[in-house]
Amino acid sequence: MAVATVIEEQKDKLDKTALITGSEAIAVACQLADVDVITAYPIRPYDTVMQYVCKLVANGEMDCEYIVAEGEHSQFEIVKHASACGARVFCGSSGVGWMYAMEALTVTPALRIPMIAMVGNRALDDPGAFGVEHNDALAVRDLGWQLVWVDNAQEALDTALIAYRVAEDRRIFLPLAISCDGAFLTHSQALVKIPSQEKVNEFLPQYNRGDLLLHPDNPITVAPQGNEDWVMEIRRQNYAAMERSPGVIREAYADFERIFGRSYGNPFFEEYMTDDADIVLMGMGTLSISVKVAIREMRKQGKRVGFVRMRWFRPFAAEELSKSLQRFAAVGVIDRDYSFGSPYAGGVLAGEVRHALYPGPGKKPPVVGFICGLGGREVTVPDVQKMAEAVYNAADGKKQPLTQWIGLRE
Amino acid sequence: MATYVQIDPTQKLDPFKAVKKIPLEEYFTSGHRTCQGCESALVMKMMAKAAGPRTIVLGSTGCMYVANTTYYSTSWVLPWMHTQLGSSGSAALGASAALKVLMRKGKMKQEPINVIAFCGDGGGADMGVGAISATLTHPDYNCLILMYDNESYANTDIQLSGSTPWGANTTFSTPGKVKRIMHRRWKKNMAGMMAAGHPTCRYVATVCMSYGLAAMNSMRKALAIGGPTFIHSLDPCPKGWDYDPYISHELGELAVNTGIWPLYEVEDGVLKLTGRTQQIAAKKIQRQPVRDYLLRQGRFAHFTNDDIDYFQSKIDEMWEKWLVPGVIPFRTDVEADAPPSS
Ligand SMILES: Cc1ncc(C[n+]2csc(CCOP(=O)(O)OP(=O)(O)O)c2C)c(N)n1
Ligand code: SF4
Ligand SMILES: [Mg+2]
């Protein structure tokens, strides 16, 4: 048999490697997941994913309804209804686009729509800025969306597959957003292993809406007026689904490792050089890159600094995290977001970390918050070193502000 | 001829020949809590009957959501889903797209299923007009968007919308001691706008449930023709218009006979005036004075004779000056508009 024929026949079974961006990696995941309905609307930086999807469809490499909507609100409403009718869906946005869709984002969890969205994190207007901030995705943190941050293209692809597996699990049926830092991840290329279709099929069952399917064979009424009679019970069901989410996430990562042979260790947060660390920094997304470089530099000078990168923000692995953080003399949380008027004027993640530590058993290390890298400003190695200094000061019990802006032009 | 439009087959829905041919089965039944004499509820009932059992209905927020689907007492026999106030267009598109792709990929049994998304005038002519417009430009998706127009945001306590007639008393346009006319905007020409603005949309029609059989047949045509379609229904609303519920039906007739509510359909770009409207246009019957319609309703009770004359003059214009009478408000000459002082 000719070699070409063998390769053709084996195509579905072979893994490939490709040099692609974070956005492209997610588009490839959509292709592998055989997504049925995809809606697009332009806003930088997330829209690159839809440009790739468009090419896949035009080249006959992907079969889906690819709909260009007239605004983000419609973009999310279209896939919401498609999902209710049994379609696997994908959508996404950035910055003010995500906020424009807010009403549609709000209603999705209670409808138990397992929509997967990519957020190409971007600063909110005004003033206009293309760069990354995390306040867009964080705006839905209380509403029943599962939120995960990734920091490289491989992780983007893998997490998108895991996202479908988790969200479409009947025990969950909640929407899920994958946050990719604008530019730093959406637009930077890396070598990515693209798994074979065969493995993906083994990992990811078809979406089955079951008794919630909107179809003439199952003539249900979806989302009737609930009011004080039932709304509280419905909220409680959402709560219960979110409570089940960590278990389902763990199962999915374990299966992912078994089938694809790639492991992420603890799914909820990545620990970097923490085994012997005195202090740690924490953060989400691609700032991990300069933090890791800075840590390697500092370690040359004998400073034992570690890093904890949060992947899953919702559900938030509070117990596990607080147990892990007890090992350190102090914790510094880097927020690429803001929460004006919040306790200690900190960022969102800093507040969550303090919250996680408070009821936890044992020692509670002091937490210093940093606001850094807003509007896409680079988080530099000297920035990180400065933050580590402050965390050491906290460990020594020195008085200092609980929230510090780093890399700010004074 | 090559075609870039990929329409799935639709159901064969021939017109009902007579009232007695309308099936007895109900797909919108008891359990709703609309006002007595609510014409919009009648639209729902007849729409469900016209479409039949193999139909998915999506409904935007408004009276036809809140009053129809109290938890545990839904009136829908058809599969039904709530959609957000401005989302009827997106709901229709999303459901239709899902059915299309799932059937194509063999993930769902192949079968033509009707998709109807309805909205009120607030949800349709105001908030959702962008999404409806977008959907009407998507030639590949079979769906009907039905706007039931009770001429106010009724569910939230009767506030004026872009579809409320000039001068009407609503809770956001109550006449006061100094200002009599608080609502000085003319009603949007929604059906005309949808027909004129979306050249590939194959069917746009206006209906009124006072002419039920014609309205149902219009809905059947809209569902069978293929692609996205739009129907605008004028629905007397006893609460919002402030009249005795037993005259709902009569008010619908008056709206048509005064020429205020023209009945027409635009099928593949061809305009056809229908019913009494056709006779009015052909001068076979005379338009009734608008006074007969306005003074039956409390929402116009504050009108002076000048107000009524102004209203009449605008309706006369619609029939005498519009290039396409009753449908498209383009004119050949510039005319001054002189509303009475408010
Ligand atoms: C985004 C949004 N804004 C406001 C409302 C409040 N609201 C609920 S029903 C309604 C009235 C809708 O009016 P219309 O579409 O004309 O339907 P009707 O109530 O007249 O049947 C409004 C404004 C809402 N549900 N959603
Ligand atoms: S307020 Fe009007 S539209 Fe609403 S239920 Fe009553 S009659 Fe019907
Ligand atoms: Mg209304």
Both tokens assigned to A2: 């000719």
Q: Does the C-beta of B239 come closer than 6 Å to ligand 2?
A: yes
Q: What is the mean pLDDT of residues A296-308?
A: 98
Minimum mean pLDDT range among A8-22, A107-121, B6-20, B110-124:
A8-22
| Ligand 3 center to B98 CA (angstroms) | 29
Residues in chain A: 410
pLDDT tens track for A34-51: 999 999 999 999 999 999
Alpha-carbon gap, residue B189 to B185, rounded angstroms: 12
Q: Does the C-beta of B123 come closer than 6 Å to ligand 2?
A: no
CB distance A400 to A394 below 8 Å:
yes
User: What is the reported pLDDT for A58?
Assistant: 97
Alpha-carbon gap, residue B309 to A163, rounded angstroms: 64
Q: Check which CATH number belongs to the domain holding B119 and give it.
A: 3.40.50.970
Nearest to B262 by CA among B229, B243, B298, B234: B234
- Give domain status of residue B107, yes or no: yes
CA end-to-end span of chain B, whole Å?
58
Chain A residue at shortest CA distance from B78: A219
Residues near ion ligand 3 (CB < 5 Å) are B 120-122, 150, 154
Chain-chain contact of B113 with A216 (C-beta, under 8 angstroms): yes
User: What is the reported pLDDT for A363?
Assistant: 85
pTM: 0.97
Higher pLDDT, A2 or A262: A262
Q: Atom 22 (ligand 1): residue with closest C-alpha?
A: B156
Amino acid at A200: V
| Ligand 1 center to B156 CA (angstroms) | 6
Q: Which residue has the tokens 């009902």?
A: B16
| Ligand 3 center to B234 CA (angstroms) | 10
Best B102, B110, B111 member to test A by mutation, with max A CBs in 10 Å, is B102
Alpha-carbon gap, residue A230 to A103, rounded angstroms: 21
CB distance A286 to A185 below 8 Å:
yes
Best CATH choice for the domain A2-260 from the list 3.40.50.11540, 3.40.50.970, 3.40.50.720, 3.40.50.2300: 3.40.50.970
Q: Atom 2 (ligand 2): residue with closest C-alpha?
A: B237
Best A63, A77, A233 member to test B by mutation, with max B CBs in 10 Å, is A77
Q: What is the DSSP letter of A266?
A: S
In sequence order, the 6+-apart residues with CB closer than 8 A to the CB of A125 are A95, A96
Best B87, B138, B156 member to test A by mutation, with max A CBs in 10 Å, is B87
Cβ neighbours of B66 in A, within 8 Å: 225
| CATH number for the domain whose boundaries are A269-406 | 3.40.50.920
Cβ neighbours of B130 in A, within 8 Å: 70-71, 74
List, as ranges, residues 240-279 from A with C-beta within 8 Å of B. Answer: none
Q: Does the C-beta of B89 come closer than 6 Å to ligand 1?
A: no
Chain-chain contact of A74 with B76 (C-beta, under 8 angstroms): no
Chain B nearest-CA distance from A42, in A, is 15
CB distance A121 to A132 below 8 Å:
yes
Chain A nearest-CA distance from B299, in A, is 29
Query: Which helix (H) or strand (E) segment is A37 a member of?
Result: strand A37-40
C-beta atoms surrounding B322 within 10 Å: 17
| Ligand 2 center to B39 CA (angstroms) | 8
| Residues forming CATH 3.40.50.970 domain(s) in chain A | 2-260
User: What is the reported pLDDT for B334?
Assistant: 85
Cβ neighbours of A226 in B, within 8 Å: 71
Nearest-CB residue to B74 (from A34, A77, A221): A221
Give the orientation angle of helix A22-32 with respect to helix A47-58, to 10 degrees. Answer: 50
User: What is the reported pLDDT for A282?
Assistant: 98
Q: What is the mean pLDDT of residues A162-170?
A: 98
| Ligand 1 center to B84 CA (angstroms) | 9
Query: Chain A contact for B74, CB < 8 A?
Result: yes
User: What is the reported pLDDT for A22?
Assistant: 97
| Ligand 3 center to B253 CA (angstroms) | 19
Number of independent structural domains in chain B: 1
Both tokens assigned to A40: 């697009």
Confidence band for A14, pLDDT divided at 50, 70 and 90? confident
Cβ neighbours of A218 in B, within 8 Å: 79
Q: What is the mean pLDDT of residues A143-155?
A: 98
pLDDT tens track for B159-176: 999 999 999 999 999 999
User: What is the reported pLDDT for B315?
Assistant: 98
Q: What is the mean pLDDT of residues A371-383?
A: 97
- Print the domain residue range for B50: 25-320
Chain-chain contact of A225 with B90 (C-beta, under 8 angstroms): no
Both tokens assigned to A42: 């332009």
Q: Does the C-beta of B240 come closer than 6 Å to ligand 2?
A: yes
| Ligand 3 center to B319 CA (angstroms) | 26
Query: Chain A contact for B184, CB < 8 A?
Result: no
Chain B nearest-CA distance from A60, in A, is 14
pLDDT string in tens for chain B (342-residue length): 457 888 899 999 999 999 999 999 999 998 888 999 999 999 999 999 999 999 999 999 999 998 888 888 899 999 999 999 999 999 999 999 999 999 999 999 999 999 999 999 999 999 999 999 999 999 999 999 999 999 999 999 999 999 999 999 999 999 999 999 999 999 999 999 999 999 999 999 999 999 999 999 999 999 999 999 999 999 999 999 999 999 999 999 999 999 999 999 999 999 999 999 999 999 999 999 999 999 999 999 999 999 999 999 999 999 999 999 999 999 988 878 888 987
Using a 10 angstrom Cβ sphere, with 0-12 exposed, 13-18 middle and 19 or more buried, the burial of residue B20 is exposed
Alpha-carbon gap, residue A326 to A346, rounded angstroms: 21
Chain-chain contact of A82 with B94 (C-beta, under 8 angstroms): yes
Residues in chain B: 342
Chain B nearest-CA distance from A381, in A, is 47
Chain B residue at shortest CA distance from A107: B84
Q: What is the mean pLDDT of residues A321-343?
A: 97
Chain-chain contact of B98 with A224 (C-beta, under 8 angstroms): no
Q: Atom 3 (ligand 2): residue with closest C-alpha?
A: B237
Chain B nearest-CA distance from A53, in A, is 16
CB distance A146 to A179 below 8 Å:
no
In sequence order, the 6+-apart residues with CB closer than 8 A to the CB of A251 are none
Query: Chain A contact for B286, CB < 8 A?
Result: no
User: What is the reported pLDDT for B1?
Assistant: 44
Amino acid at B339: P
